[in-house]
Amino acid sequence: MNSTLRGRTRVVITGLGAITPLGVGVDAFWRELLAGHSGVGPMTLADATTFPCRIAGEVTDWDPQQFLDRKAARRMARFAQFAVAGAAQALEDAGLDLEREDRDRVGVLLGNGGGGYPDIQDGARTLFERGGMKVDPLYMAKTLGNMAAAQVALQHGLRGYNGTIVTACAAGTQAIGEAGMLIRAGRAEIVLCGGAEAAITELGLAGFCVMRALSERNDEPEKASRPFDAGRDGFVPCEGAGVLVLESEAHARARGARVYAELAGFGCTNDAFHVVAPPEDGEGAARAMAAALRDAGVGPDAIDYVNAHATSTPLGDAAETNALKQVFGEGAYRLAISATKSMIGHGLGASGGMETVATVKTVETGSIHPTINQENPDPACDLDYVPNVARRADVRVALKNSFGFGGQNSCLVIVRYEP
């Protein structure tokens, strides 16, 4: 770590929670990632019969009453249920006894793409078919984007900083980065952070399909998400949540917490280029990566592993590859790079949360999950994407990338913790 960073409050990761298409809980998620299993299948949450994309990464074994009483669950949108469940897992994993904490110093900062999509769609249908006074009385309380973070706070009595990041597909990663900033600024001692999304609806499907953004490989759902492969034809929508517990190092050590890793750096930029397309050279993404490295006080040579944004879109994957080459030069060819989305699909604002959980597990365990469906090399994507089979490696410093519509770019540097 750069000597200029000495004396700065260190931020450590002490708890993890995950609700994913590969299973509920971090253990199931991580086990399936290492095995290279796909969580993508036929879409059931929306009627996709008239759409060119009919597949998704759905949380198929979801039972909110594992985490909430029935009444509370009914009052929450699905994305908020995921967030509450992920937060409960992360708090338990961190061994935090909230009765012994100053809850004014415990914050929540979560990302999502736009709130309760299924409830928004249902409300609109009710409005036009039955009239406005038949809309669910809880419509606003379910649909607002801030309700995931609000519900986490309500469930646990967390009275500290509370916020929501809505920067499309960069939201979960940006929430984690800004949570670290809150702790460094002394605004919180503990922050639950990450992302949650449940956007698989007919309206959402229609919006992405008319853009030609989604994969149409319906006959082989498990092979549809294929980042960096020459046969990639668009992303596969998914849902879920990834939540982390961040603490100041001093607080974690004082309570004898187990530390997974350290959040050392955060970079955030905008392409200022196009509303949905990245620049071909990945210039904005490269600036975000470089900013995260500077914030962490490390050079490009220190990075051992990159968890890529890697949506499986023709433009996006090539642009990210070009951005990596800008930042790392010839060193890009020595990097181990993998795409979590190859197995779960693209969770929009939740992706950064789920993928950061995977990145932390990589640093903790020294195991790198593969990028599956690597069958046809693309000359434009010629780096080491850890094809098809997991790999053991000494990963001391990892980079996590997330890029979103609107040109939003957020990157994290996560390092092995050394007291």
Catalytic residues, by residue number, are 169, 309, 346
Residues 6+ apart with CB under 8 A from 136: 119, 122, 123, 126, 142
Parallel/antiparallel/unpaired status of strands 11-20 and 240-248: antiparallel
For 281, other C-beta atoms within 10 Å of its C-beta total: 14
Phi, psi of 184 (to 5 degrees): -65, -30
CA dist 92 and 101 (Å) reads: 14
Q: How many CA atoms lie less than 13 Å away from 183 in the CB half-sphere?
A: 33
Q: Taking a C-beta distance cutoff of 8 angstroms, is the pair 349, 112 a contact?
A: yes
How far apart are alpha carbons 5 and 180 in whole angstroms?
Answer: 14
Distance of CA 349 to the CA centre of its chain: 6
H or E element, residue 413: strand 408-415
Q: Give burial (CB, 10 Å; 0-12/13-18/19+) of 75.
A: middle
What does DSSP say about strands 162-165 and 190-197: parallel, antiparallel, or unpaired? unpaired
